[in-house]
Structure 1
């Protein structure tokens, strides 16, 4: 049986902390699906298609990585893609408390899906997408937090559109 794992998140934008978790999870699974969750209650900085494109570019050399954009329950996404595992990254103790509550709920909804927690490397504990977005909004340098694919998109001049 193929070991398929879903790593759900907003990845808005994807950071080196996310990549750390993804790369360390690769040897554990036959397929790692990065699930870009769409949450109607959140106003993302980047379109889900842009986030998927970044992940696809970053992992273009890795056939075990796929991306999916989904809405709704994470366990339902797992069922659609055939995943038996959910991957979550932990930075701090309070992350674990929050993530454990979600894992318990997911287990109640589908006992056949197991949540796996990986802790990030210490150098990434303070790297959060929320903080990175704030730095981007204020014109700061995020090169130490995000991969080149994201940095290029952020630094690209805006496309001007003219209405005729």
Structure 2
């Protein structure tokens, strides 16, 4: 059985912290699907198409990494792409509490899908897309938080 993992998120925009998690996780699976989900409680700054393009460019040389957009429940999308794992990145203990609640709900909905948590490298633990968007909205230079392929 092919080990397929979904790394869901909004990636609005993708940061060096996301890239760190992806680069460290990809060797654990046969295929890592980066799924840009539609979150009804978030108003994105960048289109799904723009985010997909950035991520494809970043990982263009790794055939194990696939990038897609999706909507609906994450566990339903996992079933659609035959993923038995969900990857989540953790920066702080508060992230874990939030992510564990989601993982528990997902486990009740789809017990065959396992959630894997990876902690962020300390170098990137303070970077979040929310903070990066604030810097951009206020005219600051967010380049140090973003992969080179993300041109803002």
Same fold by TM (over 0.5)?
A: yes
Count of aligned pairs? 152
Give unmatched runs, 5+ long, in structure 2: none
Q: Which residue of structure 1 aligns with residue 10 of structure 2?
A: 10
Larger Rg: 1
Cα deviation for residue 43 of structure 1 reads 1.0
Q: Which residue of structure 2 aligns with residue 26 of structure 1?
A: 26
Give unmatched runs, 5+ long, in structure 1: 155-164
Q: Which residue of structure 2 aligns with residue 111 of structure 1?
A: 111
Q: Does 1:121 align with 2:121?
A: yes
- 1:129-149 Cα deviation digits (max 9, x unpaired): 000000001111111100111
Cα RMSD (Å) of the superposition? 0.7
SS in 1 for 2:116: strand
Cα deviation for residue 48 of structure 1 reads 0.5
SS in 2 for 1:149: coil
Describe how 1:140-159 pairs up with structure 2 within 5 A.
140-150=140-150, 152=151, 154=152
TM-score, normalised relative to structure 1: 0.91
- 1:29-73 Cα deviation digits (max 9, x unpaired): 000000000123321000011000000000000000001101110
